[in-house]
């Protein structure tokens, strides 16, 4: 298997191009190649596949072998890969995702390489049962939840995949190693959930840390940053555009009021290439 190792703000992926469909053993393959001690090491295995609806389709298999519906950092990596490798020669393209449909991408090109990627992440899903949660409400904002004897409040958002956004006093130093996996598998979330712990600095700047469903702690999460902005705007603590600071770097998120779409802008990087036997 020929692969390219890439990352979006430290959220890293093994990117594979050239297959027509996912291999039958893709779940176990992801577990093996994503292992950081005995494999290549990554948060997920990403396949760039043909699409009848877009320029390409993207499938993401988490490091635990489960499939993710969408990933904002992965779509930036895929976008950079297809342009930098001459698979597309324009700065606009469309990528089909499993959970968020076809997403439009705008590339910033410098010296023949992609430097920034702006992705139209679509409209956020706010209805409680559609996210999905077990809460039947048009919006799930500041809903109480208790884990490990501690009480929190969360706002739920889906960006094609489900998110639970929780305000804490100091996100940058918050130890979520115990409650992260407990929240991921909480009974309120029938398909499990990604969990963002956030601290709002001002109306245009939020600190975020993430426990990703199927991957655990990662340095960044693009859909999580989008969910964080939407949740914070719903709570009235930020504007509809803000810098989201993650452990791996910054993403710039806008929840556009005219079309209700969320736009994410950030970088992607190639690390190395190789062959997995």
Phi, psi of 162 (to 5 degrees): -85, 140
Distance of alpha carbon 58 from alpha carbon 49, whole angstroms: 6
Does 221 participate in catalysis according to the annotation? Answer: yes
**What is 33-75 written as a DSSP string?**
HH-TTTS---SEEEEEE--SSSSEEEEEEETTSPEES--HHHH
Structure tokens at 192: 């499990």
* Residue from 34, 164, 221, 226 carrying the catalytic annotation: 221
Distance of alpha carbon 40 from alpha carbon 65, whole angstroms: 15
Beta strands per DSSP E along the chain: 2-8, 11-17, 44-49, 56-62, 67-68, 92-97, 101-110, 113-120, 140-147, 150-158, 162-167, 194-202, 205-212, 216-218, 241-246, 249-255, 262-266, 269-275
Does 34 participate in catalysis according to the annotation? Answer: no
Structure tokens at 120: 């139209």
Q: How do 92-97 and 56-62 pair as beta strands?
A: parallel
Catalytic residue ranges: 71, 221
């Amino acid at each position: 298997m020929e692969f390219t190792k890439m990352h979006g703000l430290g959220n890293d992926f093994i990117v594979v191009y050239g297959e027509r469909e996912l291999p039958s053993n893709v779940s176990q393959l992801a577990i093996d190649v994503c292992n950081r001690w005995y494999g290549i090491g990554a948060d997920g295995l990403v396949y760039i596949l043909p699409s009848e609806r877009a320029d390409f389709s993207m499938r993401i298999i988490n490091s635990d072998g489960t499939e993710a519906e969408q990933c904002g950092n992965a779509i930036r990596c895929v976008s950079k890969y297809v342009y930098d490798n001459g698979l597309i020669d324009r700065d606009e393209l469309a990528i089909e995702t499993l959970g968020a449909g076809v997403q439009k991408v705008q590339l910033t090109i410098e010296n023949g390489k992609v430097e920034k990627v702006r992705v139209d992440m679509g409209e956020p899903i706010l209805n409680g049962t559609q996210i999905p949660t077990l809460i039947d409400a048009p919006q799930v904002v500041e809903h109480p939840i208790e884990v490990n004897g501690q009480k929190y409040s969360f706002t739920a958002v889906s960006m094609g995949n489900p998110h639970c956004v929780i305000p804490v006093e100091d996100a940058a130093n918050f130890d979520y190693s115990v409650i992260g996996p407990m929240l991921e598998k909480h009974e309120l979330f029938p398909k499990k959930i990604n969990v963002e712990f956030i601290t709002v600095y001002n109306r245009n700047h939020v600190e975020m840390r993430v426990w990703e469903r199927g991957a655990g702690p990662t340095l960044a999460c693009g859909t999580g940053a989008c969910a964080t902005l939407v949740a914070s705007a719903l709570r009235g603590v930020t504007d509809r555009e803000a810098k989201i600071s993650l452990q791996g770097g910054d993403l710039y998120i806008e929840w556009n009021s005219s079309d209700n779409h969320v736009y994410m802008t950030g970088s992607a990087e190639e690390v190395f290439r190789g062959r997995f036997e």
